């Protein structure tokens, strides 16, 4: 399996996990169904060319910022799955952007509803990233745990691949 095929398979698995948890009843809106339609045969390039995929800003190091897929969830259409490059194997990392920092102040009449939305989105994001970790997919938390584990006394610095 080539690196591109590996990355595509990881992206497909990550999208499946995201969608299963974000739309537990299986009712994916038409404008988000494109992320699961033909997923089994999609290349990474095809996945990243879909409507609702954004290029993330370039990092200060000059590295590409990656991509964000606006998959949404059953109650909020703006939640995103992101794929960012990473300097160590497997070369990228996955994450969830709840995309719900709406800038609403505590005196706003909808403050309580927004806080409930944010809490619900955060809980879903944690479940998605936990599922990814269970599936062996690269998450920030997983990479951090691996790094910290490798940095423990008696571990070899060269083992961080």
Distances (CA, A) of 113 to 8, 102, 119: 37, 12, 10
Half-sphere exposure of 106 (CA within 13 A, CB side): 0
The angle formed by the CA atoms of residues 29, 31 and 36, to the nearest 5 degrees, is 75
Handedness of CA 25, 78, 49, 12 (dihedral sign): negative
- pLDDT, averaged across the chain: 87
Cα 14 from Cα 137, distance rounded (Å): 7
Show the domain range for 71: 3-159
pLDDT in tens, 42-90: 988 999 999 889 999 887 776 678 899 999 999 999 999 999 888 877 7
pLDDT in tens, 121-145: 999 999 999 999 999 999 988 877 7
What is the model's pLDDT at position 63? 67
Q: What does the DSSP 8-state code read for residue 85?
A: E
108 vs 85: which has the higher pLDDT: 108
The angle formed by the CA atoms of residues 44, 50 and 51, to the nearest 5 degrees, is 155
CA 121 to chain centre: 13
How many structural domains compose the chain? Answer: 1
Q: Sheet containing 92-97: which strands, arranged edge to edge?
A: 53-55, 67-70, 80-85, 92-97
For residue 155, pLDDT over 80 is answered with no
Token reading at 12: 């497909």
pTM (2 decimals)? 0.85
């Amino acid at each position: 399996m080539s690196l591109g095929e590996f990355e595509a398979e990881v992206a497909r698995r990550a999208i499946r996990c995201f969608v299963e948890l974000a739309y537990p009843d299986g009712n994916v809106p038409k404008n988000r169904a494109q992320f699961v339609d033909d997923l089994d045969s999609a290349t990474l390039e095809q996945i990243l060319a879909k409507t609702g995929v954004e290029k993330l800003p370039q990092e200060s190091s000059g590295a590409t910022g990656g991509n964000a897929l606006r998959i949404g969830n059953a109650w909020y259409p703006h939640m995103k799955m992101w794929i960012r490059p990473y300097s160590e194997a497997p070369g990228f990392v996955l994450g969830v952007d709840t995309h719900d920092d709406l800038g609403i102040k505590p005196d706003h009449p909808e403050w309580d509803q927004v806080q409930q939305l944010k809490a619900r989105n955060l809980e879903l994001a944690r479940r998605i990233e936990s599922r990814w970790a269970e599936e062996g997919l690269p998450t920030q938390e997983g990479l951090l745990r691996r790094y910290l584990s490798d940095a423990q006394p008696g571990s070899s610095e060269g083992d961080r691949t």
